[in-house]
Structure 1
C-alpha cells in the first residue's frame, strides 16, 4: 500500500512547478506581461507552502528550511531582518505553535 500524499509535499511540488515555469520564461523573455504573472504565481505558491498545516515537527522543519531558503534565494532575506516578508514567516511559526498547543490540549 502506498503512503498517502502529504499536503506539504503537494504544496512544495506546486511551488517548484511554478518556479520552473517562471525560470523557463525568464530564460527566453523579459517581457513584463509574460514574466510578472508567472512571478506572482510563484509567490502565491510559496504563500500556500507557508500556510499548509504540518502534521509533525519533521514536516514543519522541512517546510521552514524550504521557505527560508526560498526567501534568501529570491529576496536576499534572512529571517529576523527588518523586511516586509517577515510577517509571512511569523505567521507560519504562529500556525505551527497553535497546532502544537491544540494537539497538546487534546492529549490532556
Structure 2
C-alpha cells in the first residue's frame, strides 16, 4: 500500500491504533504468495467509528478477479482466507471493536 498513513482516516485514530493496524497488515499473509497484505494493495483504507465502536475496512478486490470461472473461484477462495485472517487479527488487536468490510 506504500505510505499506509494516508490510507487511514486519521480523524479519531490514535497513533497507537494506526500502529496496530500497520502490524496487522504486516502479519496477515496472502496464502498463495506469502506476501503481507500491506504489499498487495487489497486494503485501500480504514475508517474508525468511535460512536459505532467499529473499524471499517475498505477493499478493492472483486473488480480485479480473473474472467475465467475456475480461476475466479480460486481467487475468491484466497480472498476469503485473507479477509478471514485479517478480521481475526483486527479483532485480536481491537477486542472492543467490531470489524466491517466495505
TM bucket (normalised to shorter chain) is 0.3 to 0.5
Which structure is higher in helix share?
1
Higher-Rg structure is 1
> TM-score under structure 1 normalisation?
0.36
> TM-score under structure 2 normalisation?
0.37
Which structure is higher in strand share?
2
